[in-house]
Amino acid sequence: MNGSANGPGNGPGNGPSNGIARSSADGTEIHDRGYRKYEGVRSGVAGAVRSLAWQTIRSTLGLGRPARHKVFPVIVVVIAALPAVVLVGVAVLFGDLGNGSEIKYSALFGYSVLPILLFASMVAPEALVRDRRDGMFSLYLSTPLTRSTYLGAKVLAVLAVMMIIALGPVLLALAGYTVAGDGPPGFVDWLEVFLRLTAGSLVISAVMTAVAMAGASVTDRRAFASVAVVLVVLGGTTVSEILINAADFSNVYGLLNPLATAGEAVTRILGEVSDQSQSLWETDTAIVALGAAAWFAAGAAVVGYKYRKLEAT
């Protein structure tokens, strides 16, 4: 507009020098501020992915949202952490947690199974379904984000929170064992156990993230997504139990249960022997690893297929 805005009584070129033209009829103000080049830091696609991942983590945990959205994440975290807190308390108070017996670190992951399943079915799907329900998916695609980078940011966010639930309690329990004098004997041994626990947590978190995201990609209703995730896990458990125990099939059919498959992979990573009742303990480690990878790939394939077909309106 550059000083040529026309208000009543103003001819062309006679607009106010400050770029504001006023209309005495209706009090309308037209502000001519022009265009200004953005001079801030341009973080590009990487910055957009980081920003979306962080906002998704906040949203998933209910941060910055009404209190009702914080309730379930808090419950999941408390359920996950409570057993480990008890172990640490016992270690500090009595100083002898393991009573000299061999510690099975794979058993520590048993404390995280229920919270992981609750998070994967009840909380994680919100990372995807909310954007589609509110129309935010199309808006994100108007930024430097593509479908692939958008999904990558969502996976990173859900995986990060899942890792907190899976890894946090076992590390806290490891600390309790260490304080009690029943932990690894030296720093190198302690570091090895730490790395194994981290790797195991990453495996179980990746598998359940893939299952949760796949369930969330088939619907824009969180309740339906939750049902889909539960059906996959419980359905796989039921079918594998029937095939192994009733039909006397090979234990390899335990791979139909994503949570049990990931748990068995954790056991192998820790170099321990499984004591599961239905179990994969007779299955080669390579087959167990392939089973865990297959569950992750299957979940990723479902998400990729659904979002490739999804129209951004």
Q: How many CB atoms lie within 10 A of CB 308?
A: 9
C-alpha 165/C-alpha 76 separation (Å) is: 8
Residues 211, 215: Cα–Cα separation, whole Å: 6
pLDDT at 76: 84
Q: Can you give the pLDDT of all 313 residues of the chain as single tens digits?
A: 444 444 444 444 444 444 444 444 555 665 556 666 666 667 778 888 999 999 999 888 878 777 777 787 888 888 887 877 777 777 667 665 544 445 677 777 877 888 898 889 888 898 899 888 888 888 888 888 889 999 999 999 999 999 988 888 888 878 877 877 777 888 898 899 899 999 999 999 999 999 999 999 988 888 898 899 999 988 888 888 888 878 777 788 888 889 888 988 988 898 877 655 445 667 788 898 999 999 999 999 999 999 987 876 6
Distance (Å) of CA 16 to CA 27, 28, 35: 15, 14, 18
Q: CA 88 → CA 78, 113, 170, distances in Å?
A: 15, 19, 11
How many Cβ atoms from other residues are within 10 Å of residue 14's Cβ?
14
Q: What is the pLDDT of residue 94?
A: 67
Within 13 Å and on the Cβ side, how many CA atoms surround 165? 34
Which two three-digit tokens encode residue 105?
Answer: 């670190």
Query: Is the CB of residue 257 less than 8 Å from the CB of residue 231?
Result: no
Tell me the whole-structure pTM to 2 decimals.
0.78
Asked if 265 contacts 290 with a C-beta cutoff of 8 angstroms, the reply is no
Residue-level pLDDT at 11: 43
